[in-house]
Structure 1
Amino acid sequence: MRFPLVFPLLLAATLHAGTTAAATPTPAPENAQVYFIWPHDGTVINGGKFWVRMGLRNMGVAPKGTAVTHTGHHHLLIDTDPPPMTEPIPNDRNHLHFGAGETEARVELPPGTHTLQLLLGDKDHIPHAPPIMSKKITITVR
């Protein structure tokens, strides 16, 4: 069974800086919003490979480790609930990191119904306060 795969050019972006104890989340503007440009809720994917395109309003995208106010980087949550908001976002097949500042990624999922959700992380992969999280969408892979 093949389960989420980010192709090699994006694989380096999934490296995680390690785990740390609970931390104080980085402040974010109240009007910040992360969202899916594509796919949309209910999309049917033919074949397991598809592009995820991620959008962000009222904040900027910056690589992990970049300490600039009101910036962060994308994390894609696949078939999972959001992690604790005061700890680094896990780095595994259900939590893909885009720490190089990517706003799109080629993902591969096995056939079936899957949920996707975006969560913005700060320079240390910790969600902001308030959390900048998309609504959870459902896609079907044939």
Structure 2
Amino acid sequence: MASSAWAVSATACDKTSCEFKSGVYFKGLHDNTAIDQEFTVQMVVNGMNVQQAGELVEGTGHFHILIDDAAVEQGEPVKKDATHLHFGKGQSEATLKLTPGEHTLTLQFADGHHVSYGKLWSRTVPVYVKP
């Protein structure tokens, strides 16, 4: 089971492919990266702006990290529980704590009311947490 301590930084692209595309990514976190049980990730969005939750402003939103879950369909709200982490204060960095083994981290961008912008504004990265 996953637990979290709030802080974040990561990337699921090669060194240049994400920098110019619209969407989201974890800076420095790539597919199948081996990570410590406690780690920090950075969240990046291209093509929209980060804003605190609570107000609907076109072209803005905030980050969510889904642990061991897939992207949320466009127009659907992001759940709020131990494996669906909300960064509604506009945070772009967090520290997470996971149990050893294989996990997926899905970065999901959503509007000011936590409604998903869909798969085009998400990225899932498989990781291996070291014992």
User: Quick one: structure 1 residues 113 and 58, their matched pair in 2 at CA, closer, same or farther if it must change by over 3 Å?
Assistant: same
Matched, 1:104 2:103: no
Aligned partner (choices 114, 125, 129) of residue 137 of structure 1? 125
- Structure 1 spans left out of the alignment, 5+ residues: 11-30
Whose radius of gyration is greater, 1 or 2?
1
Q: Which runs of 4+ in 1 moved over 4 A?
A: none
2:99 alignment partner, SS class: coil
User: How far is the alpha carbon of 1:67 from its aligned partner?
Assistant: 2.6
Correspondent of 2:30 among 40, 46, 60: 40
Alpha-carbon distance in 1 for matches of 2:72, 2:127: 21
Shift of residue 130, structure 1, vs aligned partner: 7.2
TM-score, with length taken from structure 2: 0.80
Matched letter for residue 42 of structure 1: N
Report the Cα offset of residue 36 of structure 1.
1.1
Q: Distance in 2 between matches of 1:110 and 1:130?
A: 26
Name the % identity. Answer: 36
CA RMSD of aligned residues (A): 1.9
**Alignment length, in residue pairs?**
117
Judging by fraction of residues, say which structure has more strand: 2
Q: Which amino acid aligns with 2:32?
A: G
> 1:3: Cα distance to partner?
2.0
What is the TM-score normalised by the length of structure 1? 0.74
Counterpart-to-counterpart distance in 2, 1:50 and 1:129:
26
